[in-house]
Structure 1
Amino acid sequence: LDLSRSMDAQDLTPSRLTRARLKILDILQRRKSGQIALVVYSSNAFTVTPLTTDADTVAALVNSLSTEIMPSRGSYPPAAIKKGQQLLEQAGVSLGEVLLITDGGSSPAAEEAADQLRSAGYSLSVLAIGTTEGAPIPRAGGGFVTDRSGNIAVPKLEATGLRRLAAAGGGRFAVMRTDDSDLDTLLSGATMAGSESDESLVTDHWREEGPWLLLLLVPLAAIAFRKGLVITLLIFILPVAEPAHAFSWKDLWLNADQQANQLLVEGSAADAAQLFKDPAWRAVADYRAGHYGGSAAGFGTLEDIDNLYNLGNALAKLGEFESAIDAYEEVLETDPNSEDARYNRDLLEDLLKQQQDSQAGEQGNQENA
């Protein structure tokens, strides 16, 4: 399930995301047996629920999903496809299906991951959401989301690329419909004949006995400055539970990091920071709680490019502009195309120059007094 802002587009009523959630619930009702796992990802993939026969738990997670707490751009399907393959292989199953639900497109990296999944004995199917005409993305306060040029963004369904992705994964392709014809295509064992102009394209037979993975596509925007504002790192959403007692159902289903993520979603960032075991997520929670020193210390122990970028943001919030600029420079050395890192660096360099000019002016005034 793609949770980028484009899923709020209303070319499908009431929105792409609402229709997608309902469609997933329909899928869960159809599959009375077998195992299902839930994976979310941004630049990295996370397992929300491992393979389980408890469809109710998965349904509770689906019902809680929203784009409102998420940044609006970026998604990297290959990470989730690889995570899906890893879960299937770790479970020791020989047959398994991965279903990708998205309004986005494909890429060479995604098709390579799908091909590797197929080579391992599994398959990737795609349920595409949206229309070729597309629709603007409404803002909560009115108006519509715009692109970098200031034009109203109108995300359109990229069916051709998604067909290619399903073919690479040896699975099936369908466009979401108001009836059950899309699910009939994806879930039935019958071969569906058609051409490139058909609304659905079958590329392999469905193996009903295999475990199934729902990939929730989450856009990447790690605690980034964007147009002068700070955006928080995306988290995956867990269902709201009853208050915990000495031992609760959460202890049965959720590990400490998952429970901490739930606290983070509920707005209890400081409590989440105390509970997180994962250092990256703990640094995120510290950042959300306004504990920028702890956040910087946490991100400073992690070596990958995303956390280095986050380190720059935490240092910037501390007012340590020069150190933040150094962090962004390191990001750009690894990824010269990182527009956000370049924007943040340039922004801080301007702010630093303004500070220095202001201090020089004050010093000159004092000398002339």
Structure 2
Amino acid sequence: MQIINKIFRLQKVYIFFFSIVLFIIIFSTTYLKADAFRVSDIEISSSFDLNFKKNTVIDAGFHISFSNLLSMITTSGDKNKIKNVSTKELKSMIDSFTISNEKFTNNVYFAKLETSFNKKKILTFLEKKNIFPSIPIKNKVLLIPILVDIESNSVYLFDNIFYKRWNKKKEKYQLLDYILPTEDLEDLSKIQNMLDTIDTYDFANLIKKYDLKDHIILIIYKNKDEFKTLSKINLNDSLKINNKTYSQINLNNEEDVEKILKKLKNTYEDQWKKNNEINTSIKLPLTLSIKSGEYKKIIALENTLNNIDLVADFYISNFDNNNTQYKIIYNGPPNFFFNDMNNKNFNLVIENNIWIIK
């Protein structure tokens, strides 16, 4: 009888233990889920008259927010493929939104809108249109803009309009922050002495001063009203060369200068996005195992998986008193997953095709 009672007590402890584990798993899955693209600080406004409808103003804000989101996660060419998305379809991809700073000034309604788009629904929407989105990662990059005036046979590093105006305007959806070289007469003198070989000049010594991994060398050749640009784009340890030509450009015309600046920035943004594409056609199933008793690590793991953009989905496939197993759908090769987890301080080993957290 005592043996039976002991077994019964052990069963109760075993059931209690599983209840605690299940509670923690459910709790962490429910409340740490943050699978969204958030677009903030969108300004919306409308005349406050008899035709004023707040919902119409907010709907217009949703379309602006969606356009900004597409500008962050798709190249300019792919964005142009997406047209005429209905308000109904757009709203189906929104998880939540917030209106703030509402005010009425001179019979005009003003407010700021923050919209959270469901990441999974956005990726599915883009996949149906055969568009690979990119991870919206912000990045600092060193930009060295050099103006070469062919007519006067002169080189300008600091005293040129592109250097002066490059950071005057930045769109909210742009991911690259540009660091321009500080005015150094020694650097200027070296570059000026390399006029005939400027397109092959090694800028390594100048680049080393700024402790930035990524850099862009922009050389602009001016010949009367024609401008040719040579861009050496070094992002993610990958070099791309881009050439463009602009005709009938007047540097005293602000619109002409902005035209060149906008196109160059779009080129650099597109290259950055291509380097960070999410290939949604790759759906790699992975099995990951973690000890069931490590509650804090389980919560940290789920939080990490929620914030890795290449993780399309994950769920608990099996658990017992020893281990909890997750099934993960990953939009990339296995070594990418290993690097993602390693960067988040998770030590992984593979045993029998199962990724085990040590």
Same-fold call, TM > 0.5? no
TM-score by length of 1: 0.24
Structure with more strand by fraction: 2
In proportion to residue count, which structure has more helix? 1
Larger Rg computed on CA atoms:
2
TM-score in terms of structure 2 length = 0.25
